[in-house]
Chain A
Amino acid sequence: MLNTNLGQAINLDMSGIFFSIIDKFDHPIIILDAKCMILYANQIFIETIGFCSEDLMGLSFFNLVKQEEIKDIRQTFENCIKYNSSGFNLQHKIINGKEGFESFKTNVVLQKNESNQSILILHLQPIKEFIEFIEENKKKELCYEVLAEQVSDSFLAHDFEGRFLVVNEQACKSLRYSKEELLNMSVTDIELDYDLKSAQAEWSKVKPGEGFTLYGRQIRKDGTIFPVEIRFGCSYWKGEKIFLAMCRDITERKKAETELKEKEEFNRLVMDNLPIGIAVNSVFPTVNFVYMNDKFPHIYRVQREQLEEPGSFWEVVCEDADFRSYIKKRVLDDIASGEVGRMMWENIPIVRGGETRYISAYNIPIPGKDLLISTVIDVTDRVVAEQILQQNAGRLQMLHEIDQAILKGFTQLEDIGELAIKHISKLIELNQASVAIFDFNCKDLHVISEINGVKSNTVFMISKADYKRLSILKDEMILKNDEVFQKLPSIIIDICDLKEGFSYIYLPLLASDKLIGIINVGFSNEKDLEDQKIQIIKEIATQITLAVEQTHLRREMELHAVKLEERVRERTFQLESANKELEAFSYSVSHDLRAPLRAVNGYVQILIEDYESILDDEGKRICSVISSSAKQMGQLIDDLLSFSRIGRTNLEPSIVNMEQMAKSIYYELTSENNRNNISFNVENLPDAFVDTMLIRQVWINLISNAIKFSSKRESTVINISGMQQGDEIIYSVKDNGAGFNMKYVEKMFGVFQRLHSVKEFEGTGVGLAIVQRIINRHGGRVWAEGIEDEGATFYFSLRCREENSYE
């Protein structure tokens, strides 16, 4: 509402803005001229007194107040104008449309317009609100004072200029000033890093009830500086905006923080310098890392950033897709099992840029969280050492097996080759291998066995020229890539199917400087040609050579054996046919030769019997000679046949009581009359394990000889004895007969050999030959001692009883 007079009273140009501002005030405001006539009242004022604005215009302010207060109000206004001063406060009542009067505290502002007329601006504040404000502030003041001493932190309150209004004991203690000293100081005296102007800019933005924390440094009276945490806020005190700072000395905390930081740093240092990789990560659904030490990516030979990319772990760590899916499944299965015992994976090969390193990983689940502590160590050195050990053990085992094979005597070159290939490939990672061995004549090259080469056991014919060319290559060669085709004859390349791009170790197998075979071991990567591998292959080559030589020798031996056997068979066949011929001959001798003999004898007999009367004595004598000659011839034939049969019949040995046999034969051979003349002594003869029929023949011949050759003695003495000597039993038959000259002892056992004339002692000269033959067949010996006209002793020995000792 605007009184038209107001335009004159204040600058009209300004009036629009001015009044619109005043209208928005939430306290009643009224403007009066010097005569206290109402020029303007704002909306709140109109609402407060309950008048309509038209009624209000032109009224005196005094119409609205209590009659008894008019005097005081008028005095205040007059003083105001008189002293040309603003800021007068007065308390009064004013008409209230509803309740009569309401008390206000009114602030009077004097304003002069351009024409130097005074106008009064009254700012009315309801007294109730004012009292509340005062009481509130009083309460606050009390609170500040009381609370300030209660808190353990420093409490400092200051005004907008930074001057301290309230400080507590703790603040004094902390800053080492007295309370009085502090209350004469300002914020800038104790706060370092403080610029009043920029601080004031901050302070003006602070609203009561709001607060914030800031950190700074304060300086004590003694100049020492300490860090503080300040809780900062503002409030009103005694109607003024004041600023409250709760300061806490954080020296200890800072120290602790620093220590903690240092400790953390130390821990980090320790963790990062551990020789094991440690990480904390989730696994499902993807591997995401919460923490990893420096070593962790280092062991995997990747960058930390690569692993920190969520879900990148498997792709980053495993280059090979097949291996990745294998190991991922294995690890996830193991983790999913929940068994801690399964959460360790040892000697896992990690290939990076062609280089393989081995790691072992152990995971420990963190209870209650889907996180695992993953530890990983590089075990390459150990694995490699183990591999070398294993390789060495494998080498030994292989050499042993090849030795065994040699001892066992592989007859097949193929077996040796296969064994060699098997072992080479077991001990060495290779891409191709072949063992080729020449046959005995070096005409065929047997590719015995190979990996990734031509088919096993292929035989190639090679020419002499080719063999010569191959024979020159007597040193092992390490051939890298192209060298293979430059240095090796094409025949090797063809036969062993050597491949371009491969590197080879070429080893000739030399037996006494003769090339017997070739080993080729191929690698797709020339880096693989390590000394150790070459050493292993050399060892194998040596063994193979031995094995092949052995096989060759064995084969040669076998060939010899076969030849020998053939020869034996041939001889046996010859012998058998000779035997058969002999038998046939014997048969015909016994039949065909005898027939005419019989006829001679028979017909002479007829002559003697039927023509006795016409034959004179001489005729009869001649007939008798013819007859006895025929008979003698018959005897010769019989002896000869029996002699030849001894060599052919099979021995059927059994235990023979030699003493009994000798005695009974003696009795068979002699009549009672004979025996009267003979002293026959048999000492305890050992039993013998012999063919009964044949040994009987021996005794017959020896005893009958003894009787025969001592028949001319007046009394005959025959001693038979036997004794064991070593592993022989020696039997002897001694007589006191005609004896013999030792000069002829050699002849004695020959067939038809006689040392006496038939006239002296009849006989065919076959008896001793038969004895010798029988004893020889039993593995014994026969010999004799004799003195002419004194007697002879015949000895024969038999091996002590050994069953199965005869053929």
Chain B
Amino acid sequence: MNDYEVIDILLVEDNPQDVELTLRALKKRNVLNPVHVAEDGAQALDFIFCKGAYSSRDFKNMPKVIFLDLKLPKVSGLEVLKAIKSNEHTRKIPVVVVTSSKEDPDIKAAYELGANSYVVKPVEFDEFVETMKSLDYYWLIVNQKL
């Protein structure tokens, strides 16, 4: 499972179509960094904190950015966000909240918990990438593998 060591982007998303469209959007915009997809909140936490199936992962190799859907099975996105932001090692990882709607009341809650940005799910892919661009670390991610 050495792949995990070089993960730059953690995508937490349960909807396989959204996963496909997201990955396609990233690829299309030349974001070629290694992406790991967690299908629910529990899996995401296991990955981040190297537990369960990911217990052999090196905790030091943190993802550079986390795309976090808020509506997740098992553990909700807000809970995952809370766990990340309340751990001093993971607190600094930028978390981009991915939401279905900009009217989502959870956006406010996510900001309060320390989310760095949010992006409305890719009804339009351009929108998605523009958001990525607005984040300081975008070029970092993009440039590394270019």
**Residues of chain A having any CB pair with chain B under 8 Å:** 583, 586-587, 590-591, 594-595, 597-599, 601-603, 605-606, 630-631, 634, 637-638, 641-642, 645
> CB within 8 A of B122: which of A586, A598, A641?
A598
Q: Is B57 part of the contact surface with A, judged by Cβ < 8 Å?
A: no
Contact B123 A591 (CB under 8 A): no
8 closest A-B pairs by beta carbon, nearest first, are A590-B101, A641-B103, A602-B21, A594-B100, A591-B100, A599-B17, A591-B71, A634-B123
Q: Is B5 part of the contact surface with A, judged by Cβ < 8 Å?
A: no
> CB within 8 A of A594: which of B20, B24, B121, B125?
B121
Contact B103 A595 (CB under 8 A): no
Contact B123 A590 (CB under 8 A): no
**Residues of chain B having any CB pair with chain A under 8 Å:** 15, 17-18, 20-21, 24, 71, 100-105, 121-125
Nearest residue in A to B121 (C-beta to C-beta)? A598
A601-B123, A631-B123, A634-B123 are known contacts. Are A595 and B17 too (CB-CB below 8 A)? yes
A595-B15, A598-B17, A598-B18 are known contacts. Are A645 and B125 too (CB-CB below 8 A)? no
Contact A590 B103 (CB under 8 A): yes
19 A-B residue pairings within 8 Å (CB atoms)? A586-B103, A587-B104, A587-B105, A590-B100, A590-B101, A590-B104, A591-B101, A591-B104, A594-B121, A598-B121, A598-B123, A599-B17, A599-B21, A602-B21, A602-B123, A602-B125, A603-B21, A638-B103, A641-B103
Shortest Cβ distance from B6 into chain A, in angstroms? 28
Best-surrounded residue of B17, B103, B121 (most CB of chain A within 10 A):
B103
Nearest residue in B to A642 (C-beta to C-beta)? B103
Measured CA separation A88–B122 after assembly (Å): 199
Contact A638 B123 (CB under 8 A): no
Nearest residue in A to B14 (C-beta to C-beta)? A595
Measured CA separation A586–B15 after assembly (Å): 19
Measured CA separation A597–B100 after assembly (Å): 10
Q: Which residues of B contact A583 (CB under 8 A)?
A: 105
Measured CA separation A586–B106 after assembly (Å): 12
> CB within 8 A of B123: which of A586, A587, A630, A642?
A630
Shortest Cβ distance from B99 into chain A, in angstroms? 8
Measured CA separation A159–B111 after assembly (Å): 161
Q: Which residues of A contact B102 (CB under 8 A)?
A: 638
> CB within 8 A of B100: which of A595, A606, A642, A645?
A595
Contact A641 B24 (CB under 8 A): no
Q: Which residues of B contact A597 (CB under 8 A)?
A: 123
Nearest residue in B to A633 (C-beta to C-beta)? B123
Contact A637 B101 (CB under 8 A): yes
Measured CA separation A333–B101 after assembly (Å): 101
Shortest Cβ distance from B122 into chain A, in angstroms? 6
Contact B101 A595 (CB under 8 A): no
Shortest Cβ distance from A207 into chain B, in angstroms? 148
Nearest residue in B to A589 (C-beta to C-beta)? B101
A597-B123, A602-B122 are known contacts. Are A638 and B101 too (CB-CB below 8 A)? yes
Nearest residue in B to A601 (C-beta to C-beta)? B123
Measured CA separation A606–B15 after assembly (Å): 17
Contact A641 B17 (CB under 8 A): no
Measured CA separation A601–B127 after assembly (Å): 13
Q: Which residues of B contact A591 (CB under 8 A)?
A: 71, 100-101, 104
Measured CA separation A201–B20 after assembly (Å): 178
Measured CA separation A75–B62 after assembly (Å): 205
Q: Which residues of A contact B124 (CB under 8 A)?
A: 601, 631
